[in-house]
Amino acid sequence: MNKLVIGGAAVLEGSINISGAKNSALPILLATVLSSEKITLRNVPILKDTTTVLELLNKLGADITISEDSSLEIDASKIKSVRADYDLVKTMRASILVLGPLLAKYGSAYVSLPGGCAIGSRPVDLHLFGMEKLGADITLNEGYVDASVSGRLTGGNVNLDVVSVGATENIMMAATLAEGTTVIDGAATEPEVSDLANFLVAMGAKISGIGSSRLVVEGVKSLHGCDYSVIPDRIEAGTYLIAAAMTRGKVTVKNVNPGHLDIVLDMLSDVGAAINCTSDTITLDMQGRRPLAKSISTGPYPYFPTDLQAQWVALSTVSSGSCLIEENIFENRFMHVHEMKRMGADIRLQGNSVEVFGRESLSGAKVMATDLRASASLVLAALVANGETTIDRIYHIDRGYTYLEEKFMSLGAVIKRI
């Protein structure tokens, strides 16, 4: 099993390019099932999860071509199967997002209940609720969602009483080919949801209210091909910016939308970072200063993203002062805390929050990654630790970060995979 070995006490300096957003790419790839023509996708990140989705699409019957410029051409117009087997989807939560497209386009879907990171229950109830509101018959059969509809789905009013990115995306995709108009109230407003909506519009869907909590989808009979580029990954960008802050360095991230990171940039400014933005770059400069402690509370967009909570905990372990970090999205997302304590961090777990008392430095240790973002947070902690850190079970990292070692090495980190 692969491990990362990281030499600590790094000061990160330089610039890197940010990859396409994983959380946009996965639903967009699955949405190609809705099209009756070939789709060209650009800026798709090379990750374990995107590879898994492409394998799933291929098994369903889609033709996939990777061009010389790394763009993807996907022709899903002749899908032969509506079955998404457990063997393919067991490691990836986003696989449930194939349910809406298959149901809308082909009238049936047989999709395994998915797996993914162990950071909470994350039930699919809202996804199924939305499909039923659009007229689908849903049953659970030996770990599979068995969904069908006679004829086309029909538009309806769907009120999501809990903000859910995945449910919003699944219902929106299904509604594009439904007969009539669908209104989704309580929709998630994350940039990745808007990116999927814009992709669907590029295919001929009629969606209004993009970026708001009320989406209105007017169903059409078919969707056509398009050429579309995935937005930059704000979570990857945030990870490198937080790493720069905690190592007291200066880093520029390129190919990024600063507007997607407003709250994160505000918090980084509060810890003492000098921030300079252009239309597609962010430069963070700590000017050699130790970061100040800053409390945060996660929430749905535009609040502080849960996918950067673990990285913020890492920052806080070496900040000046103490802070409280509240997790309001997932009930089991502090598993990195115990591993950071092995590195000398002073963290006290209190239900859905942790109190962190910053120390001048951490110590290298052997630690184990438990999920995707926890993996990234341990890398960040290792960068500031005295001595060498070995991180086990790093396959989690490959689900969400493209060329992580190479990017960190280009910024001056000592890091290698063994």
For the stretch 218-240, pLDDT in tens is 999 999 999 999 999 999 999 99
Check residue 372 and give its pLDDT: 87
Check residue 115 and give its pLDDT: 60
Check residue 87 and give its pLDDT: 87
Asked if domains 4-19+232-417 and 22-229 share a fold, the reply is yes
In angstroms, how far is the first alpha carbon of the chain from the final one?
A: 9
Task: Identify the burial level of 396 via C-beta atoms within 10 angstroms of its C-beta, where 0-12 means exposed, 13-18 middle and 19 or more buried.
Answer: buried
CATH number belonging to the domain at 22-229, selected among 3.65.10.10, 3.30.720.200, 3.30.565.10, 3.30.230.10: 3.65.10.10
Catalytic annotation, pick one of 117, 226, 277, 323 = 117
Residue 14 and residue 250: Cα distance in Å, rounded? 7
Mean pLDDT over the full length of the chain: 94
**pTM for the full predicted model:** 0.96
Asked if residue 276 lies in contact with residue 267, where contact means CB atoms within 8 angstroms, the answer is no
Check residue 269 and give its pLDDT: 98
Could you say which residues of the chain have pLDDT below 70?
Answer: 115-123
Question: Is 277 among the residues known to form the active site?
Answer: no
| Domain segments of the chain as ranges | 4-19+232-417, 22-229
Residue with tokens 């056509």: 224
Cross-strand pairs, 283: 252, 276
DSSP run (H or E) holding 363: strand 362-363
Burial 77-86 (b: 16+ CB within 10 A, else e): beeeebebee
- Residue type at position 243: A
| CATH 3.65.10.10 for the 4-19+232-417 domain, yes or no | yes
Tell me the pLDDT tens digit for each residue of 360-411. Answer: 999 999 999 988 888 999 999 999 999 999 999 999 898 899 999 999 999 9
